[in-house]
Amino acid sequence: MIAYAKGARTFERHVDIDSDGVKVSPYCTLPEQCDQWFRAFQKAKAMCGAAGDQKRIPGNREIAYLDGLVRGVYAKNDLPVGHKLTEADVYLAIPLQKGQISCRELIAGEVLIKPLAADQPVMLDSFDSPYAANATLREKIANRGL
Pair 121, 72: CB distance under 8 Å: yes
Write the CATH number of the domain with boundaries 60-143: 3.90.1210.10
Per-residue confidence (pLDDT) for residue 113, from 0 to 100: 93
- The pLDDT, as a whole number, for residue 75 is 96
Q: What is the pLDDT of residue 67?
A: 77
Q: What are the pLDDT tens digits along the chain (146 aa)?
A: 888 777 788 888 888 888 888 888 888 888 888 888 889 888 888 888 766 667 777 888 988 888 788 899 999 999 999 999 898 999 999 989 999 999 888 877 889 999 999 999 999 989 877 777 888 888 888 888 78
Domain ranges for the chain, please list them: 2-48, 60-143
